[in-house]
Amino acid sequence: QVQLVESGGGLVQAGGSLRLSCAASGGTFSRYGMGWFRQAPGKEREFVATIGWSGGNTVYADSVKGRFTISRDNAKNTVYLQMNSLKPEDTAVYYCAADRSIFSVGGTREADFGPWGQGTQVTVSS
pLDDT in tens, 93-111: 999 999 998 898 888 999 9
Query: What distance lies between CA 79 and its chain's CA centroid?
Result: 7
The fraction of the chain above a pLDDT of 70, given in percent, is 100
Hey, what amino acid is at 115? P
User: What is the arithmetic mean of pLDDT over 73-102?
Assistant: 96
Beta strands in the chain (DSSP E): 3-7, 10-13, 18-25, 32-39, 46-51, 58-60, 68-73, 78-83, 92-102, 113-116, 120-125
Q: 87-121 as b/e, with b when 16 or more CB fall inside 10 Å?
A: eeebbbbbbbbbbeeeebbbbeebebbeebbebbe
User: What is the arithmetic mean of pLDDT over 117-124?
Assistant: 97
User: What is the arithmetic mean of pLDDT over 13-18?
Assistant: 98
Residue 86 binned pLDDT confidence (cut-offs 50, 70, 90): very high
Residue 40 binned pLDDT confidence (cut-offs 50, 70, 90): very high
The number of residues making up the chain comes to 126
Instruction: Give the best-scoring range by mean pLDDT among 20-29, 82-91, 101-110.
Output: 82-91
